């Protein structure tokens, strides 16, 4: 309604509620200029915030961005970043509504995303109930495999899909509002890894989540990369973050469209169990195999 | 409605529109730990964003905050910062709705404020019309004088009101929505200095702003500090930012409550003139005396 150039932006919030989430991204810690283009960094920074909005069951509407930029940064770099923000927003019909630029030694991105619930109840992390099924939409392990390849200096064409997945995640945005319509009882964005993010759902709901590892896809690309690096591809699937898949619980008997794959169920108890393989109660730090 | 602990927060937006603004604040550039307590840094970081919301004629409703914090930062420092954010929000009935913490070498604060227009039209920078009067609410020059004193190492009790004004501004929040009700035609937060921020109003409206320097208060504290430092106190009033006063234009003949002081008028033309003293067309860089 009113974008950049005033003290603040004014956005539509037709639902009468607004969803909001913010992240701070620092050069060296969250991205590297030698691994990712400015455009990809913009795409990814937007994606991780837009995915958080979708994980509430909301439609993303806008980003506002605070930029800390070094004095010697080429103007084309900022153009690339801005294009990346804009193009990722365009995927979901959102736009960049405003921002702030300041001088900084390192590149700093403060990204805030807003969204609209369209009359739906927000899908929180806390609603999973014993008997529910657990399902996943989107990719798992790709970004983690891509990061492992980049760290090992294996950036050849054979694994480009994986290194691209690290640089530019593809969250299944539409599945977020879709899950709310389908009656999801709980939902989270898989940003820390499946086991850890399911751990948040288990803890918030006071329930246990059991994952069937046979239901988890281990795509051929991951198997090939794991063989190359001497890694276990299922570990990437279970603990890799940054693909921004969505994981949700649904009442048993729900008919799910093909974007959602059932991978487990909710029971009484606590923690996350990957059947016959892994027991994890907390997050990444407590993951054991 | 739903605060920290999920992928995103959900806030009321009863108006059906939401006002949003964001700022990035960096240690060393925007604040110094040796000059300001954690509590004061939180107060100020909140204040400058809440003031931007008020400058649209809106009531601030919430902050979301991204924090980049060094590993060796004492826990009490974060507690102080959080208390500062909370107490400044409480002044306007807002709250901290969510956030994100990441490790950083320097302290980085990414602050986003949201607000509600309560059915009012937003007051932008662009609506000033020839014949309007220009009025100010809040203090001018205090924070700039305080900064000059801190830079000169003059932090004695005699000037504490001024150094405190640098550490902890006191924006006249209620005057923002109040201005919208009174029929303000344009408004801005004075964050860059009166001449520069009036320059934004002049440029956005395609008008000229004439300021009568005799109408500008130069309080005794500023005169005393200026004498101590060999400065011109009116220069602080005209060009000092960070007090987060509000400046607005109103149709001639408006009856303004005592919080607002008329300091000039809008005419045909362009730029900002401080009668008999200063001519400025752009911002700070173009200020001449």
A96 touches chain B (CB under 8 A): no
| CB-based contact B8 A56, cutoff 8 Å | yes
Query: What share of chain B in percent tops pLDDT 70?
Result: 94
Annotated binding site of B for Mg(2+): 7, 21-23, 52, 100, 189, 192
Nearest chain A Cα distance for residue B237, angstroms: 21
Res A289: pLDDT: 32
Q: What are phi and psi of B250, to 5 degrees?
A: -135, 150
Across the range A139-165, mean pLDDT stands at 94
DSSP class per residue in A236-283? HHHH--SS-EEEEEE-TT----TT-EEEEEEESSSEEEETTTEEESSS
Report in angstroms the alpha-carbon separations of B184 from B22, B123, B131, B135, B215. Answer: 24, 7, 13, 10, 19
How much is the CA Rg of chain B, to the nearest whole Å? Answer: 19
Q: Which residue has the tokens 């590892």?
A: A213
Res B277: pLDDT: 58
How much is the CA Rg of chain A, to the nearest whole Å? Answer: 19
Across the range A111-134, mean pLDDT stands at 97
Phi-psi region of B86 (alpha: psi -120 to 50; beta: other; left: phi over 0): alpha
Exposed/middle/buried for residue A242 (C-beta within 10 Å: 0-12, 13-18, 19+) = buried
Nearest to B201 by CA among B23, B192, B119: B192
Across the range B64-87, mean pLDDT stands at 96
List pLDDT tens digits, range A161-179.
999 999 999 999 999 999 9
Across the range B180-197, mean pLDDT stands at 96
Res B166: pLDDT: 95
DSSP 8-state secondary structure symbol assigned to residue A26: E
| CB-based contact A188 B108, cutoff 8 Å | no
Res B289: pLDDT: 32
The residue that leads in pLDDT, B212 or B284, is: B212
DSSP 8-state secondary structure symbol assigned to residue A214: G
| CB-based contact B112 A20, cutoff 8 Å | yes
Listed in sequence order, the residues at least 6 apart from A121 whose beta carbon sits closer than 8 Å to its beta carbon are A57, A180
| CB-based contact A23 B112, cutoff 8 Å | no
* Rounded distance between C-alpha atoms, residue A238 and residue A193, angstroms: 6
The residue that leads in pLDDT, A225 or B1, is: A225
Res B281: pLDDT: 44
In the predicted structure, residue A4 carries a pLDDT above the cut 80: no
Domains and CATH numbers, chain A: 19-116 (3.30.1330.10), 133-286 (3.90.650.10)
SS (H, E, C) A140-200: CCHHHHHHHHHHCCCCCHHHHHHHHHHHCCCCCCCHHHHHHHHCCCEEEEECCCHHHHHHH
Q: Which residues of B touch A114 (CB under 8 A)?
A: 18, 20
Q: Mean pLDDT of all residues in chain A?
A: 93
Res A285: pLDDT: 37
Q: Mean pLDDT of all residues in chain B?
A: 93
In the predicted structure, residue A34 carries a pLDDT above the cut 50: yes
* Rounded distance between C-alpha atoms, residue A195 and residue A263, angstroms: 12
* Rounded distance between C-alpha atoms, residue B16 and residue A12, angstroms: 6
List pLDDT tens digits, range A237-289.
999 989 999 999 999 999 999 999 999 999 999 999 997 654 444 333 333 33
Res A28: pLDDT: 93
Across the range A61-84, mean pLDDT stands at 96
Q: Residue B44 in contact with residue B81, Cβ under 8 Å?
A: no
The angle at the Cα of B170, spanning B164 to B174, to the nearest 5 degrees, equals: 170
Nearest chain A Cα distance for residue B257, angstroms: 23
List pLDDT tens digits, range A192-251.
999 999 999 999 999 999 999 889 989 999 999 999 999 999 999 999 989 999 999 999
A117-127 CB burial, b ≥16 within 10 A, e <16: beebebbbbbb
């Amino acid at each position: 309604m009113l974008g950049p150039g005033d003290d603040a932006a004014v956005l539509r919030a037709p639902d009468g509620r607004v969803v909001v989430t913010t992240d701070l991204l620092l050069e060296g810690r969250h991205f590297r200029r030698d691994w990712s283009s400015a455009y990809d960094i913009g795409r990814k920074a937007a994606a991780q915030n837009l995915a958080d909005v979708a994980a509430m069951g909301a439609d993303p509407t806008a980003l506002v961005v605070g930029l800390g930029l070094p004095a010697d940064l080429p103007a084309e770099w900022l153009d690339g970043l801005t294009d990346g923000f804009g193009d990722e927003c365009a995927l979901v019909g959102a736009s960049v509504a405003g921002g702030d630029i300041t001088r900084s030694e390192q590149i700093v991105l403060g990204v805030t995303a807003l969204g609209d619930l369209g009359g739906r109840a927000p899908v929180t992390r806390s609603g999973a109930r014993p008997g529910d099924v657990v399902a996943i939409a989107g990719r798992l392990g790709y970004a983690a495999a891509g990061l492992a390849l980049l760290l090992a200096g294996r950036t050849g064409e054979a694994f480009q899909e994986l290194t691209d997945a690290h640089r530019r995640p593809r969250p299944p945005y539409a599945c977020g509002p879709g899950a709310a319509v389908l009656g999801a009882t709980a939902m989270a964005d898989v940003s820390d890894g499946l086991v850890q993010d399911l751990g948040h759902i288990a803890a918030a709901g006071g329930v246990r989540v059991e994952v069937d590892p046979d239901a988890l896809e281990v795509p051929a690309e991951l198997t090939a990369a794991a063989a190359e690096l001497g890694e276990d591809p299922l570990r990437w699937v279970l603990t890799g973050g940054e693909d921004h898949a969505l994981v949700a619980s649904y009442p048993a008997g729900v008919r799910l469209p093909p974007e959602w794959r059932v991978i487990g169920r909710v029971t009484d108890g606590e923690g996350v169990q990957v059947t016959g393989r892994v027991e994890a109660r907390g997050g990444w730090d407590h993951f054991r195999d």
